[in-house]
Copies of this chain bind each other. A is one copy, B any other.
Amino acid sequence: MKYSEAKEKYIQAWGTLGSSWGVNRTMAQIHALLMISTVPLSTEELMEELKISRGNTNMNVRALMDWGLAEKVLVPGERKEYFKADKNIMNIGVQVAKERKRRELDPIIKLLNDITLVEGDTAEVKEFRKVTKDLQKFATQTESVLDLFIKSNQNWFFKILGKLR
């Protein structure tokens, strides 16, 4: 396979994957590009490579930085900002786990904590309490697993799991 073809497929696939994980396509594609680049890239270079506008580029680069997946690089003697991505896949995984936990799991747990307290003794309400308590338990367990993953550095998490197989 030619490099140009492989690269195209890779960026395309990363974008698609991003979409089905609540990350917008462009953000994922910028990330994909930064991941394989040997040098930090400027806004212009990202615009050119992905054929996207300046505004879009700026917006999504900032989103990537919010997610802790990219950072600014200042090149001495240059006014322009360059961007690079952390290439350590484990760090990326941890970072994504951390952010999604904060943005999605934590609010749901908070909500479940509230609504499981609903009062009443009709069959309907009893069932509601039962189901939401189960969900609460599951969410809390998931939280523990994520915390374990987030705290464990390097490959520790996978190594342990590998032994269980």
Contact = CB atoms under 8 A, between A and B. Distances in A.
B10 A115 contact: yes
Interface in A51-109: 87, 89-90, 93, 103-104, 107-108
B9 A115 contact: yes
Contact of A2 (B89, B118, B158): B118
A36 B129 CA distance: 9
Interface string A125-159: 10110011011011001001100100000000010
Interface residues of A, number: 54
Contact of A131 (B35, B111, B125): B35
Q: State the copy count for this chain.
A: 2
A144 to B, nearest CB: 6
A133 B58 CA distance: 29
Contact of A128 (B36, B132, B158, B162): B36
A85 B119 CA distance: 24
A138 B138 CA distance: 25
Contacts of A35: 131
Contacts of A117: 1
Contact of A38 (B2, B19, B20, B124): B124
A49 interface: no
Residue among A9, A131, A162 with most chain B CB within 10 A: A131
